[in-house]
Structure 1
Amino acid sequence: MANDVLIAGETLIDFIPERAGPLEDVAGFERRPGGAPANVAVALARLDEPPLFWTRVGADPFGRYLEQTLADCGLPDRFVTRDGEAKTTLAFVTHDETGDREFSFYRDGTADTRLEPGRIGDETLADCEWVHAGGVTLAGGSSRTATLELLERAAAAGCTTSFDPNWRPELWPNEETFASVARDVLAHVDVCFATVDELELLGETGESSTDIARAVIGDVAAQAHTVFVTRGSEGAIAVADDDAPWPADTVSHSGFAVETVDTTGAGDAFVAGAIAALRAGHTLADAVAFSNAVAATATTTRGAMAALPTRDAVETLLEAE
């Protein structure tokens, strides 16, 4: 099977609390594999489209566990790098009563901050149709340069490039730095996935989510021809202009009514659904519906990676709509 999608970014350990509430009140946690790009990669594999995945983990027990997990999920290990000098990143998740979450990271000089520019060769990019990266690796270390360099080279090679800013306040010195770096990345990105809050941090404003998405496309500093604005339980909006390889359109989908247990990884599931649908030639409207179904199904089980659904589960939800 050809691996014509490349996902790049962090793989880490999520510690999921045994109950909702602030971390200081939680006594027990369950170890789960995570990291937004890792979740996207595994979600694609669950949808029967395993991509290449470029990541870096520590040569520690957590890193070995993550390597085995990725292999068990059907991801090739060609670009899974083991770092003998740095630990694996840990993230402790806080849940409120609705399932929404916040993160507390242990990520000072860890393996995923140490991706190295030039690791992905020109021959690999020549075989790729789509390259996706997330915003966490932009927060510091050599990974910022490596991520930006990958997207620049992927765009130059003719790949469709996509980006999820994935704003995590604890990882950045301030909002202005995040916005500046993210906007540099958008100059090399075709498809942007973001929340309303993230787009507003980038300086995009408007009366509605649709206005904000159109503002991103209309920005001369951005290459993006398609923007997905995710809105949690309210679904998503997508806008594509005439430069998109799929028909230009503005569409929305209100999402699916499911019994939400944990929203961790839902946005990553949405990204994977959109990539899979657009690569399969679906319309923008069908891609948004499919992506929402993938994301909604992922919220019905605890954890990020462990909750990612199969294609059969997603199609069952779509058929029930």
Structure 2
Amino acid sequence: MFDIATSGELLAEFMAEASGQRFDRPGRFTGPFPSGAPAIFASQAARLGARVAYAGRVGRDGFGDLVVERLRDDGIDVEAVQRDPEYPTGTAFVSYQADGSRRFIFNLAHSASGRQTLDEGELEHLSACRYFHVMGSSLASRGGIEILLRLVARVKARGGRISFDPNVRLELVSSPEVREALLRVLAHCDLFLPSDADLEWLAEPGEDADATVARLRSEHPLSLVVLKQGAAGCRAYTGDGVIEAPGLAVAEVDPTGAGDCFGGALVAALVAGRPLAEALRLANAAGAHAVTVLGPMEGCSDQATLERRLLAAGETP
């Protein structure tokens, strides 16, 4: 049995070298970097010792080799990662703006990633896990929604747990189908990992974050909600109360993947049986370390790296 399984987009990412670089003018990009939000999550969890399995689809090209080799090198089971003989590996181009925001151009729908399938053998292989993790970004297409909902149902039927990072993006939730899918996953979720922006999207008029979490926990089987607050750290809501864990001060180089690393470290720590307070500290350290390194998966870290980060911040690992 796997500790953690996940499924979703796999892509090669290219990052603009200059701040404010535009897509409608020539410019320099660095890459390719292996990427995809669930892949970053999986890599971080595996580097902390979790047994992780992945399902996705890449092309039979150099970018696909890059992605699969990184997953395999991190110890991730790639039996359900398909190679498309006709369509190329998905790509993303990222440009950083002066205000810290990012702009993207994705090619996923018309890539191998957009043609992912799931047969009965792959469904059975992936569903033998303690946690199945869903990224909201992987619910961007009808095919992705169908695959993830099938996996969620099978994992729950086998007694597994669902962790869910909604990763709400305006371009996604403008689709009624995607909004419905996000809420359907939430209805089966055990560990919910929203950001402040995610809670704002889910809030009813007049609700603050605490009130929104309380309502969601009354409506859904959420045994644990961990609110990701970036540099400020995180806030965990349990049946016994609230635990706050402060963030770590670091020099930011690239914010891509920080929330995914946070989630991967948290779930890996929980499946390893670590106390919640310790798991939260490790997750904060993973998110902080991720922003210090250029590249979406390059900031994934091992246990020793996180312990050094915590010691440097004056915290107990």
Structure 1 length-normalised TM: 0.88
Q: Tell me, yes or no, if the aligned pair for 1:11 and 1:35 is still in contact at 8 Å.
A: yes
Q: Tell me, yes or no, if the aligned pair for 1:182 and 1:202 is still in contact at 8 Å.
A: no
State the shift of 1:143 in Å.
1.6
Report what 2:222 is aligned to.
Answer: 224
**How far apart are the structure 2 equivalents of 1:303 and 1:275?**
22
Residues 85-234 of structure 1: matches in 2 within 5 Å? 85-97=86-98, 99-119=100-120, 120-122=122-124, 125=127, 127-170=128-171, 172=172, 174=174, 176-204=176-204, 207-219=207-219, 222-234=220-232
Report what 2:47 is aligned to.
Answer: 46
After superposition, give the CA deviation of every residue in 1:157-179 in whole Å (9 maximum; x if it has no partner): 11111111122334x37165433
Report what 1:301 is aligned to.
Answer: 293
Query: CA 1:106–1:232 in 2, change beyond 3 Å: closer, same or farther?
Result: same
**How far apart are the structure 2 equivalents of 1:7 and 1:305?**
16
After superposition, give the CA deviation of every residue in 1:242-267 in whole Å (9 maximum; x if it has no partner): xxxxxx33112220001111110000
State the shift of 1:238 in Å.
1.4
State the shift of 1:209 in Å.
3.0
**How far apart are the structure 2 equivalents of 1:175 and 1:194?**
19
**How far apart are the structure 1 equivalents of 2:205 and 2:281?**
25
RMSD, aligned α-carbons:
2.2
Matched, 1:275 2:267: yes
**How far apart are the structure 2 equivalents of 1:41 and 1:103?**
22
**How far apart are the structure 2 equivalents of 1:111 and 1:123?**
21
**How far apart are the structure 2 equivalents of 1:206 and 1:26?**
46
Query: CA 1:215–1:206 in 2, change beyond 3 Å: closer, same or farther?
Result: farther
**How far apart are the structure 2 equivalents of 1:187 and 1:173?**
17
Which letter maps to 2:82? T
Aligned residues, how many? Answer: 310
**How far apart are the structure 2 equivalents of 1:259 and 1:26?**
29
**How far apart are the structure 2 equivalents of 1:86 and 1:141?**
18
After superposition, give the CA deviation of every residue in 1:79-123 in whole Å (9 maximum; x if it has no partner): 111122322221111223465534321222322223324453436
- Structure 1, unaligned runs of 5 or more: 242-247
State the shift of 1:124 in Å.
5.0
**How far apart are the structure 1 equivalents of 2:114 and 2:221?**
26
Matched, 1:8 2:7: yes
Which letter maps to 1:45? A
When structure 1 is superposed on structure 2, of 79-88 and 305-314 the one drifting more is: 79-88
Which letter maps to 1:78? E
Matched, 1:253 2:235: no
**How far apart are the structure 2 equivalents of 1:207 and 1:141?**
31
State the shift of 1:23 in Å.
2.7
Identity, % of aligned pairs? Answer: 33
Structure 2 residue matching 1:302: 3-state secondary structure: coil
**How far apart are the structure 2 equivalents of 1:15 and 1:47?**
26
**How far apart are the structure 2 equivalents of 1:153 and 1:122?**
8
After superposition, give the CA deviation of every residue in 1:170-220 in whole Å (9 maximum; x if it has no partner): 4x371654332200111121111111212222345665433332232122x
Report what 1:265 is aligned to.
Answer: 257
Q: Tell me, yes or no, if the aligned pair for 1:191 and 1:224 is still in contact at 8 Å.
A: yes
Structure 2 length-normalised TM: 0.89
Which letter maps to 2:88? K
State the shift of 1:283 in Å.
2.9
Which letter maps to 2:133? H
Which letter maps to 2:233? G
Q: Tell me, yes or no, if the aligned pair for 2:200 and 2:209 is still in contact at 8 Å.
A: no
Which letter maps to 1:113? G
State the shift of 1:280 in Å.
2.2
Q: Tell me, yes or no, if the aligned pair for 1:100 and 1:263 is still in contact at 8 Å.
A: no
Q: Tell me, yes or no, if the aligned pair for 1:205 and 1:215 is still in contact at 8 Å.
A: no
Which letter maps to 2:227? V
Which letter maps to 1:234? A
